[in-house]
Structure 1
Amino acid sequence: MYSREETQELKRAFWIEFAEKYPRKWLLYNTKIKDFTFKFFIDNKKAQVSIDIEPKDDAKRIAYFEKLESLKNSIDEEYLKDLVYEKNYYLENGKAISRIWVEKSGVSISNKSYWDEIFDFFNDKMNALELFYEQYDEYIKDI
Protein backbone atom coordinates (compact mmCIF):
# COMPACT_ATOMS: atom_id res chain seq x y z
CA MET A 1 0.00 0.00 0.00
CA TYR A 2 1.08 3.52 -0.71
CA SER A 3 0.88 6.34 1.79
CA ARG A 4 -1.44 9.21 0.94
CA GLU A 5 1.53 11.34 -0.14
CA GLU A 6 2.95 8.54 -2.30
CA THR A 7 -0.44 8.03 -3.93
CA GLN A 8 -0.73 11.74 -4.70
CA GLU A 9 2.79 11.81 -6.15
CA LEU A 10 2.05 8.73 -8.27
CA LYS A 11 -1.11 10.35 -9.66
CA ARG A 12 0.76 13.59 -10.33
CA ALA A 13 3.53 11.70 -12.16
CA PHE A 14 0.92 9.76 -14.18
CA TRP A 15 -0.86 12.89 -15.42
CA ILE A 16 2.42 14.72 -16.15
CA GLU A 17 3.68 11.78 -18.20
CA PHE A 18 0.34 11.55 -20.04
CA ALA A 19 0.49 15.27 -20.88
CA GLU A 20 4.05 14.86 -22.14
CA LYS A 21 3.13 11.90 -24.36
CA TYR A 22 -0.03 13.58 -25.71
CA PRO A 23 0.55 17.33 -25.42
CA ARG A 24 -2.75 18.82 -26.45
CA LYS A 25 -5.66 20.65 -24.94
CA TRP A 26 -8.59 18.30 -24.32
CA LEU A 27 -12.20 19.46 -24.48
CA LEU A 28 -13.17 18.18 -21.00
CA TYR A 29 -15.23 20.98 -19.39
CA ASN A 30 -15.20 23.34 -22.38
CA THR A 31 -18.30 21.93 -24.10
CA LYS A 32 -20.35 25.14 -23.89
CA ILE A 33 -23.06 23.07 -22.16
CA LYS A 34 -23.34 23.53 -18.42
CA ASP A 35 -22.71 20.31 -16.49
CA PHE A 36 -21.88 18.33 -19.67
CA THR A 37 -18.27 17.16 -19.44
CA PHE A 38 -15.74 14.76 -20.87
CA LYS A 39 -13.69 12.92 -18.26
CA PHE A 40 -10.71 10.64 -17.84
CA PHE A 41 -10.74 8.17 -14.93
CA ILE A 42 -8.09 5.76 -13.71
CA ASP A 43 -7.74 3.65 -10.58
CA ASN A 44 -6.11 0.33 -9.71
CA LYS A 45 -8.61 -1.78 -11.68
CA LYS A 46 -9.68 0.13 -14.77
CA ALA A 47 -9.39 3.18 -17.00
CA GLN A 48 -12.43 5.01 -18.36
CA VAL A 49 -13.22 7.81 -20.76
CA SER A 50 -16.69 9.23 -20.31
CA ILE A 51 -19.23 11.90 -21.07
CA ASP A 52 -20.92 12.89 -17.81
CA ILE A 53 -24.25 14.71 -17.97
CA GLU A 54 -24.98 16.28 -14.59
CA PRO A 55 -27.54 19.13 -14.71
CA LYS A 56 -29.50 19.58 -11.48
CA ASP A 57 -32.67 19.56 -13.60
CA ASP A 58 -33.38 15.88 -14.30
CA ALA A 59 -35.49 16.69 -17.35
CA LYS A 60 -32.55 18.53 -18.92
CA ARG A 61 -30.17 15.69 -18.01
CA ILE A 62 -32.47 13.12 -19.61
CA ALA A 63 -32.97 15.29 -22.72
CA TYR A 64 -29.20 15.53 -23.30
CA PHE A 65 -28.80 11.81 -22.68
CA GLU A 66 -31.57 10.95 -25.12
CA LYS A 67 -29.97 13.21 -27.77
CA LEU A 68 -26.74 11.23 -27.42
CA GLU A 69 -28.60 7.94 -27.38
CA SER A 70 -30.36 8.92 -30.62
CA LEU A 71 -26.91 9.21 -32.22
CA LYS A 72 -25.77 5.77 -31.03
CA ASN A 73 -25.66 4.20 -34.50
CA SER A 74 -23.60 7.08 -35.89
CA ILE A 75 -21.22 6.97 -32.93
CA ASP A 76 -20.79 3.19 -33.26
CA GLU A 77 -20.23 3.28 -37.02
CA GLU A 78 -18.11 6.41 -37.33
CA TYR A 79 -16.32 7.05 -34.04
CA LEU A 80 -16.35 4.55 -31.22
CA LYS A 81 -17.82 1.12 -30.58
CA ASP A 82 -18.46 -0.49 -27.21
CA LEU A 83 -19.79 2.59 -25.42
CA VAL A 84 -21.96 1.94 -22.37
CA TYR A 85 -25.02 4.18 -22.09
CA GLU A 86 -26.48 4.62 -18.62
CA LYS A 87 -29.34 7.08 -18.17
CA ASN A 88 -29.26 6.81 -14.36
CA TYR A 89 -25.71 6.31 -13.17
CA TYR A 90 -25.24 6.79 -9.43
CA LEU A 91 -22.06 8.37 -8.11
CA GLU A 92 -20.55 7.28 -4.79
CA ASN A 93 -22.30 10.21 -3.10
CA GLY A 94 -25.69 8.95 -4.35
CA LYS A 95 -26.16 11.66 -6.99
CA ALA A 96 -27.82 10.47 -10.20
CA ILE A 97 -26.15 11.53 -13.43
CA SER A 98 -26.23 10.19 -16.96
CA ARG A 99 -22.98 8.71 -18.24
CA ILE A 100 -21.73 7.33 -21.50
CA TRP A 101 -18.39 5.63 -21.25
CA VAL A 102 -15.87 3.15 -22.53
CA GLU A 103 -13.66 1.15 -20.20
CA LYS A 104 -10.40 -0.76 -20.23
CA SER A 105 -10.24 -3.21 -17.35
CA GLY A 106 -7.20 -4.99 -15.97
CA VAL A 107 -4.96 -1.91 -15.82
CA SER A 108 -3.69 -0.01 -12.80
CA ILE A 109 -2.33 3.45 -12.15
CA SER A 110 -0.08 1.90 -9.49
CA ASN A 111 1.75 -0.27 -12.03
CA LYS A 112 3.85 1.91 -14.33
CA SER A 113 4.17 -0.91 -16.85
CA TYR A 114 0.52 -0.21 -17.79
CA TRP A 115 0.92 3.52 -18.23
CA ASP A 116 1.67 3.57 -21.97
CA GLU A 117 -1.29 1.27 -22.62
CA ILE A 118 -3.55 3.54 -20.54
CA PHE A 119 -2.21 6.69 -22.24
CA ASP A 120 -2.93 5.22 -25.68
CA PHE A 121 -6.41 4.14 -24.57
CA PHE A 122 -7.14 7.63 -23.18
CA ASN A 123 -5.87 9.34 -26.32
CA ASP A 124 -7.70 7.07 -28.78
CA LYS A 125 -11.05 7.03 -26.99
CA MET A 126 -11.17 10.68 -25.92
CA ASN A 127 -10.09 11.80 -29.37
CA ALA A 128 -12.93 9.76 -30.91
CA LEU A 129 -15.48 11.24 -28.47
CA GLU A 130 -14.25 14.76 -29.15
CA LEU A 131 -14.44 14.26 -32.92
CA PHE A 132 -17.99 13.00 -32.52
CA TYR A 133 -18.91 15.99 -30.34
CA GLU A 134 -17.36 18.43 -32.80
CA GLN A 135 -19.59 16.99 -35.53
CA TYR A 136 -22.84 16.92 -33.52
CA ASP A 137 -22.50 19.64 -30.86
CA GLU A 138 -25.12 21.96 -32.35
CA TYR A 139 -27.65 19.13 -32.48
CA ILE A 140 -26.86 18.10 -28.89
CA LYS A 141 -27.06 21.67 -27.56
CA ASP A 142 -30.50 22.21 -29.08
CA ILE A 143 -32.84 20.88 -26.38
Structure 2
Amino acid sequence: MYSKQEAAQLKKEFWTIFGQYMTPVLSAEGERLSWVNYKTGEKNIFFRLHADNKKAVIAIELTHNGAGIQQLYFEQFLQLKKLLEDAVGEEWIWQLHTMDDCGKTISRIYTELQSVSIFTREDWPKLISFFKPRIVALDEFWSNVKYAFEAMR
Protein backbone atom coordinates (compact mmCIF):
# COMPACT_ATOMS: atom_id res chain seq x y z
CA MET A 1 0.00 0.00 0.00
CA TYR A 2 1.22 3.46 -0.86
CA SER A 3 0.91 6.65 1.10
CA LYS A 4 -1.06 9.47 -0.54
CA GLN A 5 2.18 11.19 -1.40
CA GLU A 6 3.73 8.04 -2.92
CA ALA A 7 0.57 7.35 -4.91
CA ALA A 8 0.49 10.92 -6.22
CA GLN A 9 4.18 10.68 -7.17
CA LEU A 10 3.64 7.41 -9.09
CA LYS A 11 0.67 8.89 -10.95
CA LYS A 12 2.66 12.00 -11.80
CA GLU A 13 5.57 9.88 -13.00
CA PHE A 14 3.35 7.72 -15.21
CA TRP A 15 1.61 10.68 -16.84
CA THR A 16 4.94 12.44 -17.37
CA ILE A 17 6.38 9.35 -19.05
CA PHE A 18 3.25 8.91 -21.15
CA GLY A 19 3.38 12.57 -22.19
CA GLN A 20 7.05 12.25 -23.16
CA TYR A 21 6.29 9.06 -25.08
CA MET A 22 3.53 10.85 -27.01
CA THR A 23 5.49 14.08 -27.68
CA PRO A 24 6.74 13.03 -31.14
CA VAL A 25 3.23 12.00 -32.23
CA LEU A 26 1.57 14.73 -34.27
CA SER A 27 -2.17 15.32 -34.34
CA ALA A 28 -4.30 14.35 -37.33
CA GLU A 29 -3.88 17.95 -38.48
CA GLY A 30 -0.07 17.75 -38.18
CA GLU A 31 0.23 19.77 -34.98
CA ARG A 32 1.95 19.13 -31.67
CA LEU A 33 -0.43 18.86 -28.75
CA SER A 34 -0.74 17.73 -25.18
CA TRP A 35 -2.13 14.22 -25.45
CA VAL A 36 -2.53 13.88 -21.68
CA ASN A 37 -4.57 17.08 -21.46
CA TYR A 38 -6.27 16.97 -24.85
CA LYS A 39 -8.15 20.15 -25.76
CA THR A 40 -11.19 19.61 -27.97
CA GLY A 41 -11.74 23.33 -28.38
CA GLU A 42 -15.38 22.86 -27.37
CA LYS A 43 -16.60 23.93 -23.96
CA ASN A 44 -17.88 20.97 -21.91
CA ILE A 45 -16.56 18.26 -24.28
CA PHE A 46 -13.51 16.51 -22.86
CA PHE A 47 -11.35 13.55 -23.80
CA ARG A 48 -10.29 11.99 -20.51
CA LEU A 49 -7.56 9.49 -19.74
CA HIS A 50 -7.79 7.89 -16.31
CA ALA A 51 -5.95 5.09 -14.55
CA ASP A 52 -6.19 3.86 -10.99
CA ASN A 53 -5.34 0.70 -9.06
CA LYS A 54 -7.88 -1.47 -10.93
CA LYS A 55 -8.39 -0.19 -14.46
CA ALA A 56 -7.67 2.33 -17.18
CA VAL A 57 -10.39 4.36 -18.91
CA ILE A 58 -10.43 6.57 -21.97
CA ALA A 59 -13.60 8.60 -22.38
CA ILE A 60 -15.41 11.37 -24.13
CA GLU A 61 -17.19 13.28 -21.38
CA LEU A 62 -19.99 15.78 -21.85
CA THR A 63 -20.30 18.08 -18.86
CA HIS A 64 -22.90 20.58 -20.06
CA ASN A 65 -25.15 22.06 -17.40
CA GLY A 66 -28.72 21.03 -17.95
CA ALA A 67 -29.91 17.58 -18.92
CA GLY A 68 -31.50 18.79 -22.14
CA ILE A 69 -28.42 20.38 -23.67
CA GLN A 70 -26.27 17.46 -22.53
CA GLN A 71 -28.68 15.05 -24.19
CA LEU A 72 -28.60 17.10 -27.39
CA TYR A 73 -24.81 16.80 -27.57
CA PHE A 74 -24.98 13.10 -26.68
CA GLU A 75 -27.45 12.55 -29.52
CA GLN A 76 -25.08 14.35 -31.89
CA PHE A 77 -22.38 11.87 -30.90
CA LEU A 78 -24.87 9.04 -31.46
CA GLN A 79 -25.31 10.31 -35.02
CA LEU A 80 -21.54 9.92 -35.40
CA LYS A 81 -21.30 6.54 -33.64
CA LYS A 82 -20.28 4.61 -36.76
CA LEU A 83 -17.50 7.11 -37.51
CA LEU A 84 -16.26 6.84 -33.92
CA GLU A 85 -16.30 3.04 -33.96
CA ASP A 86 -14.51 3.00 -37.33
CA ALA A 87 -11.85 5.36 -35.95
CA VAL A 88 -11.21 3.49 -32.70
CA GLY A 89 -11.77 0.04 -34.18
CA GLU A 90 -14.09 -1.14 -31.43
CA GLU A 91 -17.43 -0.51 -29.74
CA TRP A 92 -17.45 1.78 -26.73
CA ILE A 93 -19.89 2.05 -23.82
CA TRP A 94 -22.45 4.87 -24.04
CA GLN A 95 -23.92 6.42 -20.88
CA LEU A 96 -26.42 9.26 -20.99
CA HIS A 97 -26.72 11.09 -17.66
CA THR A 98 -24.44 9.27 -15.27
CA MET A 99 -22.59 10.64 -12.25
CA ASP A 100 -18.91 11.53 -12.17
CA ASP A 101 -16.71 11.10 -9.10
CA CYS A 102 -17.87 14.46 -7.74
CA GLY A 103 -21.57 13.67 -8.10
CA LYS A 104 -22.12 15.88 -11.16
CA THR A 105 -24.37 14.59 -13.94
CA ILE A 106 -22.37 13.97 -17.09
CA SER A 107 -22.68 11.84 -20.18
CA ARG A 108 -19.84 9.54 -21.10
CA ILE A 109 -18.69 7.47 -24.07
CA TYR A 110 -15.83 5.25 -23.01
CA THR A 111 -13.89 2.03 -23.01
CA GLU A 112 -11.78 0.52 -20.27
CA LEU A 113 -9.01 -1.96 -19.61
CA GLN A 114 -9.51 -4.01 -16.45
CA SER A 115 -6.90 -5.58 -14.16
CA VAL A 116 -4.17 -2.98 -14.56
CA SER A 117 -2.80 -0.56 -12.00
CA ILE A 118 -1.09 2.77 -12.46
CA PHE A 119 0.75 1.93 -9.23
CA THR A 120 2.41 -1.15 -10.76
CA ARG A 121 5.27 -0.09 -13.01
CA GLU A 122 5.10 -3.44 -14.80
CA ASP A 123 1.59 -2.44 -15.99
CA TRP A 124 2.76 0.83 -17.52
CA PRO A 125 3.50 -0.70 -20.96
CA LYS A 126 -0.07 -2.14 -20.98
CA LEU A 127 -1.48 1.26 -20.01
CA ILE A 128 0.51 3.05 -22.71
CA SER A 129 -0.52 0.41 -25.28
CA PHE A 130 -4.13 0.94 -24.26
CA PHE A 131 -4.12 4.74 -24.24
CA LYS A 132 -1.92 5.59 -27.24
CA PRO A 133 -3.89 4.12 -30.16
CA ARG A 134 -7.21 5.23 -28.70
CA ILE A 135 -6.29 8.87 -28.03
CA VAL A 136 -4.70 9.08 -31.49
CA ALA A 137 -7.88 7.57 -32.99
CA LEU A 138 -10.04 10.01 -31.00
CA ASP A 139 -7.97 12.88 -32.38
CA GLU A 140 -8.47 11.58 -35.92
CA PHE A 141 -12.21 11.21 -35.29
CA TRP A 142 -12.43 14.68 -33.74
CA SER A 143 -10.58 16.35 -36.60
CA ASN A 144 -13.30 15.01 -38.93
CA VAL A 145 -16.38 15.80 -36.83
CA LYS A 146 -15.64 18.83 -34.64
CA TYR A 147 -17.30 21.16 -37.12
CA ALA A 148 -20.66 19.51 -36.44
CA PHE A 149 -20.28 20.60 -32.80
CA GLU A 150 -19.12 24.11 -33.64
CA ALA A 151 -22.47 24.59 -35.39
CA MET A 152 -24.26 23.70 -32.12
CA ARG A 153 -22.77 26.57 -30.12
TM over 0.5: yes
CA distance in 2, matches of 1:74, 1:93: 31
- 2:38 counterpart of 1:18: no
Structure 1 residues 52 and 18: CA distance shift in structure 2, 3 A: same
CA distance in 1, matches of 2:122, 2:48: 23
Displacement, 1:85? 0.8
- 2:117 counterpart of 1:123: no
For the Cα contact (< 8 Å) 2:97–2:105, is it kept in 1? yes
Q: Which runs of 5+ in 1 are unaligned?
A: none
TM-score by length of 1: 0.91
RMSD between aligned alpha carbons? 1.6
Displacement, 1:29? 5.2
Residue type at the aligned position of 2:34: W
- The 4+ residue runs of structure 1 with deviation greater than 4 A are none
Displacement, 1:67? 0.5
- Give the stretch that moved more between structures: 71-80 or 59-68: 71-80
For the Cα contact (< 8 Å) 1:50–1:99, is it kept in 2? yes
Matches within 5 A, 1:77-96: 77-96=86-105
For the Cα contact (< 8 Å) 1:108–1:114, is it kept in 2? yes
Residue type at the aligned position of 2:64: P
TM-score by length of 2: 0.86
- 2:80 counterpart of 1:71: yes
Please name the residue that 1:7 is paired with.
Answer: 7
Q: Identify the match of residue 41 of structure 1 among 42, 46, 50.
A: 50
For the Cα contact (< 8 Å) 1:79–1:131, is it kept in 2? no
- Percent identical: 28
CA distance in 1, matches of 2:2, 2:140: 37
Residue type at the aligned position of 2:20: E
The number of aligned residues is: 143
Displacement, 1:141? 2.8
Please name the residue that 1:101 is paired with.
Answer: 110
- 2:149 counterpart of 1:140: yes
For the Cα contact (< 8 Å) 1:68–1:140, is it kept in 2? no
